[in-house]
Structure 1
């Protein structure tokens, strides 16, 4: 007798604090893969405009991936905003059966307007310690505690974050930053840099990522001043810090945010990649996606002592760890003096061989399936 395998819900609603068209990272990698198998709706944070009432803008990116952006009137107090968002969410879900839905949270703040609905499965993908970021809402800590009670399964974006949260949930699993290895490996064979970077001549150090309170601007300034012959290329949007507060110089090049598809071409022109994160509350639990991306591109990497970079990448001697400008300079000089490039890249490839977003996606689905169907059997037994 054939026993039919239980079916997953056919809709996934992702509550995201990040715009879909911001930087392409964990949410985009995972939600794009879910959208190949079910209907995925990305509910972004609101945009405030001169309106009399609110509405949801629906943007169908392809058959099963839809971006949903609330547009709300200016000047709403917090309570009215929550009430309006609750109304819009209820209208959006409509008459559909909530057993056909997975709720996937990246931001606990969304619980304020969604806690009156109970989906078949609630997932909290705890990507960062958001409460440690600048300008974090004061309600965030309490709402996260509520979400940790509400969620059926919790994923964390790194080992440090898992250590901090593991005692707060009985079904919590660590899924560190993964990689689209095929994509970033293109940097190893690319023979032409994009025009804005090709015009920069000389030895190039590079960083790609959001430039915000986590970025150690002072460190970059000191390296630039002590090695004026080195060119430092910085790719990414500037967020929550004033552009005028960042260091400037003839060897500092802010090239802005780039399309994800173009990143390998930029990385192909670098000699060494940098992870210049400040050591502060906002970086205490981060697991930088750029670490495996740089390595897949065939680049030597120097990083500040971020815990999830030190272990495993520093311990495995795949990334050099440095705490100040002099140590960075020494590590960079040591990196460029190495002549074991083929051997080192082979070691990198072995380490990265089982680390892919595809594997992460499949393993997450297994945890979700177990949570949905196997726990019911345990409770019934």
Structure 2
């Protein structure tokens, strides 16, 4: 495991939120033996104005630097992270490729870079530095090699072509450039490895995991009678196969269906709400999830199968298993081999329906224990070790020591 290193983490997301983020979990593990400066994804002025309208928690004193941007976070595992709120930037995603975009993105990068340099110096983190840029290729291209870092790492946990429009518009082009520039690329699935490895110097797979100790709290003794509750945890977006879900709901009228997560596809959410036996409960804090899982009879992953989903390694597989739940999934991913024999993988909506019916009536204590055992191997500590090994191998190949 990495030890006594300085890690600059330039993120494409925020530290805080109401769902579990792989990057955050990895940084938490590394924080026990290393100094971490975590830089949130920057709000734009447009974001801030919309945040005011929607009463979002934008701390204007912090984003404008009136009060310290830097906050020390003490974590539950005893680690410590320095959390940096960057300055507001100008919205650029609406611009077309060309001079205007280039000037604007360079200015945004300069705003971020000057704040990062100031705080690296303040924290004494300039030496032996790892620049770990996560799903933020534009800032990777603009600010990579700008901090005297020993190694430059790109962390890619999703296909950028399937991301939100604001990221996708320029993201693919920027990612192509950053892949060539980075010393190594860390991906979260075999599908992403196949997609990125040919275009980067080194590529390593570090899959997602689950907080086993948290999700074990969702374990309930096996019950094969009473009301069936088919559950889904995750974002409601374009990845779901709504034809399959509709087929499932219509053919299980006596079961309850619970969908837990934020809504990014309102049309899909409205379709689900149209069924009387479906409940959408919105996003939940991670500490609330075990209580939700305890009420499920089965956890489902009803994803469409296409090029974008083939690279997904969803955390929910290990989260369901961590609660001892049976799992039924479509065969959307190239990364299902780890779960064969433990979860039920199906090829079409008819198989999916039969699998859900089977798993909810043939659960056993022995099956539950097998699921718990598999989830127990897929921990964030184990993944952080794999990440550390990849970075150390990269630096050994570059520096030979």
TM superposition score normalised by structure 2: 0.80
1:267 matched residue in structure 2 = 293
The Cα shift of 1:59 comes to 4.7
Q: Does 1:40 find its partner at 2:64?
A: no
Cα distance in 2 for residues equivalent to 1:290 and 1:244: 19
Cα distance in 2 for residues equivalent to 1:254 and 1:123: 38
The Cα shift of 1:242 comes to 4.7
The Cα shift of 1:289 comes to 0.9
2:54 matched residue in structure 1 = none
1:205 matched residue in structure 2 = 230
Cα distance in 1 for residues equivalent to 2:240 and 2:112: 37
Closer, same or farther: CA 166–113 of 1 in aligned 2, 3 Å: closer
Cα distance in 1 for residues equivalent to 2:216 and 2:190: 25
Correspondences of 1:305-344 after superposition (within 5 Å): 305-308=331-334, 310-313=336-339, 316-338=340-362, 341-344=364-367
Q: Secondary structure at the match of 2:169?
A: coil
The Cα shift of 1:183 comes to 1.5
Q: Secondary structure at the match of 2:8?
A: strand
2:215 and 2:323 in contact (8 A); partners too:
yes
1:145 matched residue in structure 2 = 176
The Cα shift of 1:106 comes to 1.7
Cα distance in 2 for residues equivalent to 1:165 and 1:232: 37
Query: How many residues in Structure 1 have an aligned counterpart in Structure 2?
Result: 358
1:291 and 1:309 in contact (8 A); partners too:
no
**CA RMSD across the alignment:** 2.9
My pick for the range that moved more, 103-112 or 246-255, is 103-112
Q: Does 1:110 find its partner at 2:139?
A: yes
Cα distance in 2 for residues equivalent to 1:350 and 1:255: 29
Q: Does 1:26 find its partner at 2:22?
A: yes
Correspondences of 1:1-381 after superposition (within 5 Å): 8-10=4-6, 12-22=7-17, 23-36=19-32, 37-48=34-45, 49=48, 55=64, 57-62=69-74, 63-72=80-89, 78=101, 79-94=103-118, 96=121, 98-107=126-135, 108-115=137-144, 117=146, 118-135=148-165, 136-189=167-220, 202-239=227-264, 241-242=266-267, 245-248=270-273, 249-308=275-334, 310-313=336-339, 316-338=340-362, 341-373=364-396, 375-377=398-400
Closer, same or farther: CA 188–245 of 1 in aligned 2, 3 Å: closer
Q: Secondary structure at the match of 1:287?
A: coil
1:273 and 1:301 in contact (8 A); partners too:
yes
2:37 and 2:81 in contact (8 A); partners too:
yes
Closer, same or farther: CA 301–309 of 1 in aligned 2, 3 Å: farther
Gaps of 5+ in 1: 1-5, 192-200
2:55 matched residue in structure 1 = none
My pick for the range that moved more, 238-247 or 151-160, is 238-247
